[in-house]
Chains A and B, each alone.
Chain A
């Protein structure tokens, strides 16, 4: 790779600052006592403590998965801090009582929370280390019956919904990281859309890791009742530390008859430096259950950060005629490693799924797509279309595709397409010979490559995603 391509793909991380704030942090380490302490600090109902302990006991018997195409030093789970929260007054009556340092932090990240500055059509839940610090537009949403709050509050205020749905899509013992999350998760967002309601605004959660020793274990639960619909977006950033932080989240979505959930992610955790020092380990379990007939769950993800990404947002298509979608752009640079994809599990009749995956690898990074399409014996007429495209920038990055297909019903139709393209010196020279600068050339090729995915993002964020990728890949021409 020439000097010009190298400098084009290296852009400093803008969100690497640390907020200096007094925190309530418990000592590092994990045990049943730590779990009891977390549960007590959060004033949880008893069923939650049982949920956590059950998960912990299962986790103790499990092994960390090793099948992904990623390599990292063994994680010492006793060195992680499992609870860290900014100190603040117990009860907040309005957003304006939130610690100004926190409001400033989020404003610096481009997420204004205060009444005057917040986005007019997007409700935001802001999560800082282990806790939710603010949720905007709660009252306005509540007027139409939509519940949007932190999951901690939901446990206290809507225990029957939590008890019914938490762990119903991703069981506590689902996998190593999901079990760990179930044992120690500290906050996350809860969304409930009642029957027949189309959520009137975009919902969004913004995650911020601040403490260098703490892990972030959030849990998000979205329930869409019959005939309802919602579009939800999450964003994430973290400071630059030269140690690695573990982020092990779980997201569960439940769509009942005719319900429609659109879940978008713009992930920009700190990726580590050019030599691979520091960065977030992003080990995440996301799954949606299309429980009802004609229900639909659509995942869109733009993954640009993290030292390691290990996530497979999935759809279990139980309801007849239900639809699952997965649109993904995963960009890796320098020493980043990503092993990401989806699982589409067809159970009901005439279920349909679409997978569009775009992997972009630059630097010395490794970028793998891993996906499973499974058609069960009763899924008559099921259909899947998968398209996995890889783009290599320069010639030191790697791209892999691991598509798994299991079909147990002979009326099913499964299609898979894959391609690999490259942005190298010759491609850039072709553009430059026509008078187009190298920066514009990369930008045109990348946005062309990603347009099928970006077009799925909510309007406000499509532009942001385009800019984010451009930022990650552009710079001064060397």
Chain B
């Protein structure tokens, strides 16, 4: 949903970043306003996942230049946990299994860290349990999942639904979905997409990173960006995604190369 007067949630300016000494991001520019849904597409190795991890503050990535403003503050100087508590959420492409830590405890500690950071009331186990029960419906998850260890023995689809459940509880201002559609069958994809749509509102924004048009049939983006070689080379509306699906990436890459030359 595009509205000209919406506040800016994320503003990325000429961002560059390295991993293990190799430059991956080579000047990213992106602005996301409240209420908007953006999709970044692009071939393998274009730097899409790196971009999402840099925004979330993964310590393996070194930012070498540029700026990122999140709700008016300098995101790059915040620790990863403070970025999260301020409202940046990253749904992982490969959610990790954490044996021995129950999903419910994990969710409660995460929820209360955010509450505390934002000066809001922390919930005890009973009140939290009630809250979580309401959120389960968003991703059609069974309550039995709460007492299992985080992601342990979950199927691919269950892990992704668990990510969206976490997003539902933490109510981020910016939800970044990194290849959330990968490895999902069509039913799981619909459930996950439906969850994302329910959570989207005029005060928050969503950034989807994906290879395929498929997800975008269910979560319809306001803007589609094509990323290649560490930067965005073309932006458009949802029609751009359809065109990419039909024609592949080469023509965009060729046009960009011609443009640069």
Whether a CB of chain A sits under 8 angstroms from the CB of B85 is: yes
> Which of A419, A429, A431, A437 is in CB contact (< 8 Å) with B59?
A429
Shortest C-beta distance, B60 to chain A (Å), equals 6
> Which of A2, A438, A440, A451 is in CB contact (< 8 Å) with B109?
A440
Could you give 27 example pairs across A and B, Cβ below 8 Å? A4-B59, A425-B60, A426-B96, A429-B59, A431-B110, A433-B56, A433-B84, A433-B89, A433-B90, A433-B92, A434-B113, A434-B170, A435-B81, A435-B113, A435-B170, A436-B81, A436-B106, A436-B113, A437-B81, A444-B101, A444-B106, A445-B101, A448-B100, A448-B101, A448-B102, A448-B149, A449-B99
Whether a CB of chain A sits under 8 angstroms from the CB of B204 is: no
Whether a CB of chain B sits under 8 angstroms from the CB of A47 is: no
What separation, in Å, do the CA atoms of A431 and B85 have in the docked complex? 12
Cβ–Cβ contact B109 & A432, under 8 A: no
Number of interface residues of A (CB under 8 A): 24
What separation, in Å, do the CA atoms of A449 and B101 have in the docked complex? 8
Shortest C-beta distance, B177 to chain A (Å), equals 13
> Given A421-B99, A440-B109, are A432 and B170 also a contact pair (CB < 8 Å)?
no
Whether a CB of chain B sits under 8 angstroms from the CB of A427 is: yes
What separation, in Å, do the CA atoms of A451 and B83 have in the docked complex? 31
Number of interface residues of B (CB under 8 A): 31
- Residues 1 to 44 of chain A near chain B (Cβ within 8 Å): 2, 4
Q: Which residue of A lies closest to B95 (CB)?
A: A430
- Residues 438 to 455 of chain A near chain B (Cβ within 8 Å): 438, 440, 444-445, 447-449, 451
Whether a CB of chain A sits under 8 angstroms from the CB of B234 is: no
- Residues 154 to 168 of chain B near chain A (Cβ within 8 Å): 166
Other A-B contacts than A433-B83, A435-B117, 16 sampled, CB-CB below 8 A, are A4-B59, A421-B99, A429-B58, A430-B96, A433-B56, A433-B89, A435-B84, A436-B106, A436-B110, A436-B113, A437-B113, A445-B98, A448-B98, A448-B100, A448-B101, A451-B100
Q: Which residue of A lies closest to B110 (CB)?
A: A434
Q: Which residue of B lies closest to A3 (CB)?
A: B59
Cβ–Cβ contact B114 & A435, under 8 A: yes
- Residues 166 to 187 of chain A near chain B (Cβ within 8 Å): none
What separation, in Å, do the CA atoms of A438 and B84 have in the docked complex? 13
> Which of A427, A429, A448 is in CB contact (< 8 Å) with B80?
A429
Kindly list chain B residues whose C-beta atoms are within 8 Å of the C-beta of A419: 99
Shortest C-beta distance, B139 to chain A (Å), equals 16
Cβ–Cβ contact B81 & A432, under 8 A: yes
Q: Which residue of A lies closest to B85 (CB)?
A: A435
Shortest C-beta distance, B44 to chain A (Å), equals 20
Shortest C-beta distance, A115 to chain B (Å), equals 40
What separation, in Å, do the CA atoms of A445 and B149 have in the docked complex? 11
Kindly list chain B residues whose C-beta atoms are within 8 Å of the C-beta of A425: 59-60
Cβ–Cβ contact A427 & B98, under 8 A: yes
Shortest C-beta distance, A293 to chain B (Å), equals 37
Q: Which residue of B lies closest to A437 (CB)?
A: B81
> Given A429-B58, A429-B59, A440-B109, are A434 and B101 also a contact pair (CB < 8 Å)?
no
Q: Which residue of A lies closest to B169 (CB)?
A: A434
Complex A-B, nearest 8 residue pairs according to Cβ-Cβ distance, in ascending order: A448-B100, A435-B113, A434-B110, A435-B84, A432-B80, A448-B101, A432-B81, A435-B85
Shortest C-beta distance, A448 to chain B (Å), equals 3
Q: Which residue of B lies closest to A430 (CB)?
A: B96
